[in-house]
């Protein structure tokens, strides 16, 4: 099997990425549903829905050793293996079992930084599981995904718990007090995520503001 049959070569980010099906999006907001990338992809690519079903099946068979095999193959490509993006489509943490699965994958591949935006923080039990199992791992970059439907109180609670955040949906005002403007989306630097040092891959807590794109 070719890498592209199982993973997403995301040239915009400069990274290999995982995708899952829309059934994984158990914690989406109404805003998220209206702005979902899948809405555009379904129109542009007629074969995307079957592909996402296969992606969901692939996720259920992924573990630390399997990911190590694929990362070794990714190392020979332009994107490399030092950074990996979870779910450009779909949700990284649909339920607690996903937190355990990601924890196993991340622990087994310490040389790779795993970037995992999530709406799973909206579920209190899952939020606790992500914090205990994933956010404690040094090569994990789990981030709370935010949109204009979220409240300042929710942002304050996430910050107090040490969560990094990623906000999308309003180019005039951010929910975050002093966010880092994403260079890839605000300045249009193609593939910048592979080398960015101030945004989503920081080891310390960070708030990132994405421009609509």
**pLDDT at residue 47, rounded to an integer:** 64
- pLDDT higher than threshold 70 for residue 139: yes
Weakest-pLDDT range from 37-51, 83-97, 190-204: 37-51
What value does the mean pLDDT take over residues 14-24? 94
Q: In this structure, how many other beta carbons lie within 10 angstroms of the beta carbon of residue 188? A: 11
Query: How is residue 77 annotated by DSSP?
Result: S
The residue among 2, 55, 62 whose CA lies nearest residue 24 is 55
Poorest-pLDDT segment among 39-43, 54-58, 81-85, 209-213: 39-43
* Span 96-117, average pLDDT: 98
- The helix-helix angle for 64-74 and 96-108 (nearest 10°) equals 50
Q: Check residue 67 and give its pLDDT.
A: 98
């Amino acid at each position: 099997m070719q890498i592209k049959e199982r993973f997403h070569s995301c040239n915009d980010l400069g990274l290999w990425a995982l995708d899952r099906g829309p059934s994984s999006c158990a914690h989406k907001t109404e805003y998220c549903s209206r702005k979902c990338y899948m809405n555009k992809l379904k129109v542009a690519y007629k074969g995307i829905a079957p592909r996402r079903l296969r992606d969901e099946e692939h996720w259920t068979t992924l573990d630390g050793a399997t990911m190590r095999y694929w990362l070794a193959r990714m190392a020979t490509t332009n994107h490399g293996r030092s950074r990996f993006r979870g779910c450009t489509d779909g949700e990284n943490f649909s339920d607690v079992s996903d937190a355990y699965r990601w924890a196993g994958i991340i622990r087994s591949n310490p040389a790779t930084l795993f970037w995992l935006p999530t709406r799973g923080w909206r579920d209190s039990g899952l939020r606790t599981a992500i914090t205990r199992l994933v956010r404690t791992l040094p090569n994990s970059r789990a981030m709370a995904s935010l949109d204009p439907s979220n409240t300042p109180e929710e942002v304050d609670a996430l910050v107090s718990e040490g969560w990094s955040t990623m906000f999308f949906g309003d180019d005039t005002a951010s929910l975050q007090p002093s966010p880092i403007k994403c260079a890839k989306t605000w300045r249009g630097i193609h593939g910048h995520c592979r080398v960015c040092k101030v945004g989503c891959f920081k080891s310390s807590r960070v708030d990132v503001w994405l421009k609509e794109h």
